[in-house]
Structures are given as structure tokens and as C-alpha cells.
Amino acid sequence: MRAAMTRIRLKRAAAAAASVAMAVVLTACGGGDGKDDQSDGEQKQPNASASQQPKSPDTQESPETSEVIASVKGPGEIDLVINSAQRDAGGFVTVRGSVTNGSKQQFTAVGWQGAEEEMVGNGASVAGASLVDQAGKKRYLSLRDTDGRCLCTQFTTGIAPGATTPFFAQFPAPPAGTTDVDFQIPTMPTATIKISG
């Protein structure tokens, strides 16, 4: 009887030890130190060359900095602020900023898509924006894809009264020595900006 009880206790102890060992193994497999998770995440991120490509026209990005390099006020209490004009390695310049609708009506950016037939289909957008190099006497129109969509922000539903919306627009880069250009968009005053990078 005593021997049978001892065998039962030994079996229970062995089962408990096996359970603990299994829990330790599962924890070690599942937890890790985060290195495997990080490497998986890195593989999912685009490579460096992809990051140098112009953004898609539907991308809405917040300005990277709170610095203001230019600010203009247009008709209908529309304020346009430019935070950066960055020269990229891919041979283009990305202008980022924000538009604030200070009026009591929805702002649909009428005319901002420009007068070019190809660009009219961009609807409410900053497709009609351009950079003007006064010294080089050259105008740089916003980049577009093969379907005629601008590589810029499109305000799909417009901008609500009192709202501020980020925008970006991409242009061919002026020569490396050119740093001061005029940012122009229909219906708004010209804003002189400095290209960095």
C-alpha cells in the first residue's frame, strides 16, 4: 500500500515537472528578445530606393517640422503655410505644408488643379502648383504619373470650415545651385521659399 502511494506521488511530481518544463519551453519560443520581430518588421519596410520614389497622389502627410518657411493668405480666408521644400536624391523637390480654411464654407480648391487639360481631372488638389526659378527663368510644374494624376495632395472631400489639412507637392528639382524659388498656386499670392537638402 505504501509503495503504491509512493508510485502515485512520483507520477504526480513527474507530471508537474513536465508541465513546468513545457511552460518554460513555450515561453522561450514565444517571447524572445524582440530581435526576430524587429528583423521581420525590417523586411516589410520598403527599401531605401523605394523611399526615394515620389509619393502616390493620394498620400496625405503631415509636415515634418513646425518651422514655417513661408505663409500666404488668399481669398476666402484661406491660409497656406509652407513648412519645408526638400531636395531629394531622386532628382525632385517635395514641398510640404498645410492649408487652413478660415471661412464658414467648405473649401474645394477651385482652380488649384490648374488650367492644363491633363491636370483638370485631379479635382480638388494642389496639382496646379509650380516652382519658379526667377534667376534661371524656368518654371517647374508639379510631377504627374502616366495617368495624369499629380504627385500631390488631393483634397478628396474638400476642407471643412475651420479645418487645417496637410499637403505636399512634388516637382522636378532645379539645378543644385538654385535654392530660392517662388511657390505659385492659382488664386493665391506667390510665396518665396528656400530649398534645403
Q: What is the 3-state secondary structure (H, E, C) of 14-25?
A: HHHHHHHHHHHH
Kindly state the helix (H) or strand (E) to which residue 132 belongs, with its residue range.
strand 130-133
Q: Is the pLDDT of residue 89 over 90?
A: no
pLDDT band at 7 (very low <50, low <70, confident <90, very high): low
Coil, helix or strand for 159? strand
Provide the 3-class DSSP secondary structure of residue 28. helix
Residue type, 158: G
> What pTM was computed for the model?
0.67
Report, as an integer, the average pLDDT of 21-49: 39
| Amino acid 179: pLDDT | 95
Of 124, 123, 108, 122, which is closest to residue 76 (Cα–Cα)?
108
Report CA-CA distances (Å) from 119 to 86, 93, 110, 151. Answer: 23, 19, 13, 11
Q: What is the DSSP letter of 107?
A: B
pLDDT at 48 over 60: no
What percent of the chain has a predicted confidence (pLDDT) above 90? 53
pLDDT at position 12: 54
